[in-house]
Structure 1
């Protein structure tokens, strides 16, 4: 992967971090959201910081993705249960920011999923069925390619010439 792509991924993560930080802080102006709202948003923001710190690891953005998906459910429950009864001034603004934060989460999940795919390369499916790959833009190629040697496919078998065994495994088992 080129340095330019890493810069874009870093900017994407910084954008995710600051957007959700600002919206979480502004959501607290509502005054009626529970402390758990701040807690799981703080965990989400910490996983984003972890992801920014460890740029090679796919575990950090994957944890941020999982936390964000759970936060969607938690936001819906918190907003439904703790919606302010009297909406005026700052409470209206805080409630609007909480709703905006919730609406931003699916886009954030998509962006984090793409970051996980880019970092994990061909291993980025995490056991998801192949039908899910179509939802997120198709299968991704590994960012690391072998530039030393191009694979040569045999048109009749579709196998690489290098990997075709020349003899049976039992013949090569005890010979040196």
Structure 2
């Protein structure tokens, strides 16, 4: 199955908006976790060639799925919820439901950037651990300061 091409900025915008609305009801740890991950997403947009940025964003999305389930299940107000509160809770739940799909899209972007040994990673410049050869640009006689 071919995933649709979705811009990372669109994913961020949707989750930012849903998080803003979810913060009507769920504050504190919910807001901190989700806005931190959105900041990692901004980093992934700014550094479009960085595998680290998209990896951190993908990992953060996966972690916030678990955190959102826990936070919503513990802190969902059971009584006296106004229309605004129901809307905010609904948006937090919608954000949670969209996150697995967003993870699939971000994973696809991660693979395009060369993450998890994707097609664009070049490993010919790496030296194997069991190789007896040292790096070519370092002198094999390391100078150790006296007294050590």
Q: What TM-score do the two structures reach when normalised by structure 2? A: 0.73
Q: If each structure's helix is expressed as a fraction of its own residues, which one has the higher value?
A: 1
Distance between the aligned counterparts of 1:22 and 1:75, measured in 2?
16
Find the counterpart in structure 1 of residue 18 from structure 2.
Answer: 23
> Size of the alignment, in residue pairs?
118
Find the counterpart in structure 2 of residue 38 from structure 1.
Answer: 31
Distance between the aligned counterparts of 2:52 and 2:120, measured in 1?
17
CA displacement 1:79-129 (0-9 Å, x = unmatched):
100001222210100010010000010011111111110001xxx326xxx
What is the correspondence of 1:101-116 to structure 2 with a 5 Å cutoff? 101-116=95-110
Are the aligned partners of 1:34 and 1:78 in contact in 2 as well (CA < 8 Å)? no
- Structure 2, unaligned runs of 5 or more: 123-148
Higher relative contact order (CA 8 A, sep 6+): 2
What is the correspondence of 1:26-175 to structure 2 with a 5 Å cutoff? 26-30=21-25, 33-86=26-79, 87-120=81-114, 124-125=115-116, 141-142=119-120
Structure 1 residue 142: Cα displacement = 3.5
Structure 1 residue 143: Cα displacement = 8.8
Q: Partner of 2:24: helix, strand, or coil?
A: helix
Distance between the aligned counterparts of 1:23 and 1:70, measured in 2?
17
Q: What TM-score do the two structures reach when normalised by structure 1? A: 0.62
Bigger radius of gyration? 1
* Cα 1:12/1:50, change in 2 over 3 Å: same
CA displacement 1:3-38 (0-9 Å, x = unmatched):
xxxxx97x61111110011000001122xx240111
Q: Which runs of 4+ in 1 moved over 2 A?
A: 140-144
Distance between the aligned counterparts of 1:41 and 1:99, measured in 2?
13
